[in-house]
């Protein structure tokens, strides 16, 4: 059975992890298995570049462990794609960044997308990623909900989603929306009922891309990400 390992940032609550595993398991074919793990040290969430640095060693450790334990692909479950390039250099199995997967899907669905960011202070980091991925011409806007990441499941957050999503469409010219955090997945049903353009969930995009890469027997290019063997410890 092909196995997809998903690495969370700082979520160690067993009930939450199992809820998220079941959500992702429903998105893949029955013969695929989804496993969830989380970093054991570092920040609870990634909200700026400094958090990425603080989480980097723990994330890399989990990526190495995924390959060592024979997972077929590993997902960095954060829309800011922390240490994505470095992780790809450290293993040969596919490493998927949730943000990059979502943006790639968005530009197949429309010409210009907007990112719905949970926090205003994240906007510069999204901009840097979009430039790095060569997608600046496709970016309509980045809209902030001003909701703390750990509060994204509340009713107030859903209303903020809808408000900023509609503004992105009406005022910024977005024809696709991308959720700016994998923790926003529970808001998808309500958003899809109230917003008329496609909405891409990075958690869903990443898990679907992982299955596709495994089926096609593809992984990242060694020419772009030269492999360097390092110890998992």
- What pLDDT, on a 0 to 100 scale, did the predictor assign at position 111? 98
Q: Which residues contact 53 (CB under 8 A, 6 or more apart)?
A: none
Strands (E), 64-214: 73-76, 95-97, 113-117, 139-144, 176-179, 199-200
> Is residue 127 domain-resident?
yes
Whether the predicted pLDDT of 169 surpasses 80 = yes
> Is residue 23 domain-resident?
yes
Domain count, the chain: 2
For 170, the domain range is: 99-201
Whether the predicted pLDDT of 183 surpasses 90 = no
Residue pLDDT, tens place only, 193-225: 889 999 999 999 999 999 999 999 999 999 999
Write down the residue that tokens 């089926």 correspond to.
215
Residue pLDDT, tens place only, 135-147: 999 999 999 988 7
Whether the predicted pLDDT of 27 surpasses 90 = no
For the domain that residue 82 is a member of, what is the CATH number? 3.40.50.1860
- What pLDDT, on a 0 to 100 scale, did the predictor assign at position 146? 80
Q: Quick one: 14 and 93 in the same domain? A: yes
Its pTM stands at 0.92
Instruction: State the virtual CA torsion across 8, 144, 128, 220 in degrees, nearest 10.
Output: 40
Most distant CA pair in the chain, distance: 50
> Is residue 15 domain-resident?
yes
Q: Quick one: 110 and 178 in the same domain? A: yes
């Amino acid at each position: 059975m092909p196995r997809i390992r998903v690495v969370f940032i700082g979520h160690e609550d067993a009930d939450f992890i199992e809820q998220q595993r079941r959500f992702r398991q429903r998105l893949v074919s029955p013969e695929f298995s989804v496993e969830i793990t989380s970093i054991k040290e570092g920040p609870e969430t990634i909200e700026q570049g400094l958090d990425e640095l603080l989480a980097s060693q723990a994330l890399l450790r989990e990526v190495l462990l995924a390959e060592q334990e024979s997972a077929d692909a590993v997902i960095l479950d954060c829309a800011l794609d922390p240490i994505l390039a470095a992780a790809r250099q450290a293993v040969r199995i596919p490493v998927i960044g949730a943000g990059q997967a979502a943006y790639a899907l968005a530009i197949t669905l429309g010409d210009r997308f907007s990112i719905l960011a949970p926090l205003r202070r994240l906007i510069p980091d999204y901009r840097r990623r979009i430039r790095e991925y060569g997608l600046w011409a496709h970016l309509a806007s980045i809209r902030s909900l001003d909701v703390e990441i750990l509060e994204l499941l509340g009713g107030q957050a859903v209303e903020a989603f809808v408000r900023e999503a509609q503004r992105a469409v009406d005022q910024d010219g977005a024809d696709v929306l991308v959720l700016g955090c994998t923790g926003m997945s529970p808001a998808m049903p309500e958003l899809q009922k109230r917003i008329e353009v496609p909405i891409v969930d990075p958690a869903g995009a990443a898990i679907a891309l992982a299955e596709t890469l495994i089926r096609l027997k593809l992984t990242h290019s060694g020419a772009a990400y030269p492999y360097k063997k390092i110890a998992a410890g």
